[in-house]
Amino acid sequence: MTALDPAIYDTGKRPVWCPGCGNYGVLLALRKALAELELKPENVVIVTGIGCHGRISDYMKTNGFHTIHGRVLPLATGIKLANPNLTVIGHSGDGDAYAIGLGHLPHAARRNIDIKLIVHNNMVFGLTTGQVTPTTPLGVKTKSTPFGNPEHPLNPLLLALASGATFVARGFSGEVDHLKELIKRAILHKGFAFIDVLQPCVTFFNTYSILREKVYKLEETGHDVKSLEQAFRRAMETERIPIGVFYEVERPTLEEAFSHAMNPPPALRPLSPPDLTRLLSRFR
CA 51 – CA 69 distance, rounded (Å): 8
Residue 5 lies in a domain: no
Which pLDDT does position 258 carry in this prediction? 81
Task: Establish if 122 belongs to a structural domain.
Answer: yes
Give the per-residue pLDDT at 38: 97
Residue 241 scores a pLDDT above 70: yes
* pLDDT tens string 172-218: 999 999 999 999 999 999 999 999 999 999 999 999 999 999 999 99
Q: Is residue 116 part of a domain?
A: yes
At residue 86, the pLDDT reads 97
Output the pTM of the full model: 0.94
Please indicate, yes or no, if residue 11 is contained in any of the structural domains.
no
Q: Residue 178 domain-assigned?
A: yes
At residue 101, the pLDDT reads 94
pLDDT at 2: 65
Q: What is the DSSP letter of 201?
A: B
Neighbours of 208 (CB within 10 A): 15
pLDDT exceeds cutoff 90 at 273: no
Q: CA 207 to CA 100: how far, in whole Å?
A: 24
pLDDT at 3: 81
For residue 238, give its domain range: 16-281
pLDDT of amino acid 56: 96
CATH number, domain at 254?
3.40.50.970
- Indicate whether 23 belongs to any domain: yes
The answer to whether position 10 is within a domain reads no
Asked whether residue 24 carries a pLDDT value surpassing 60, the answer given is yes
Average pLDDT over residues 58-72: 95
pLDDT band at 1 (very low <50, low <70, confident <90, very high): low
pLDDT tens, residue by residue, 103-150: 999 999 999 999 999 999 999 999 999 999 999 999 999 999 999 999
Please state the domain count of the chain.
Answer: 1
Q: Is residue 68 part of a domain?
A: yes
**Averaged confidence pLDDT in the chain:** 95
Q: Using DSSP bridges, classify how beta strands 215-217 and 167-172 pair: parallel, antiparallel or unpaired.
A: unpaired
In terms of Cα–Cα distance, which of 91, 52, 50, 53 is closest to 69?
A: 50
Q: Which of 8-12, 110-114, 265-269 has the lowest mean pLDDT?
A: 265-269
Choose the weakest-confidence range: 10-24, 176-190, 260-274: 260-274
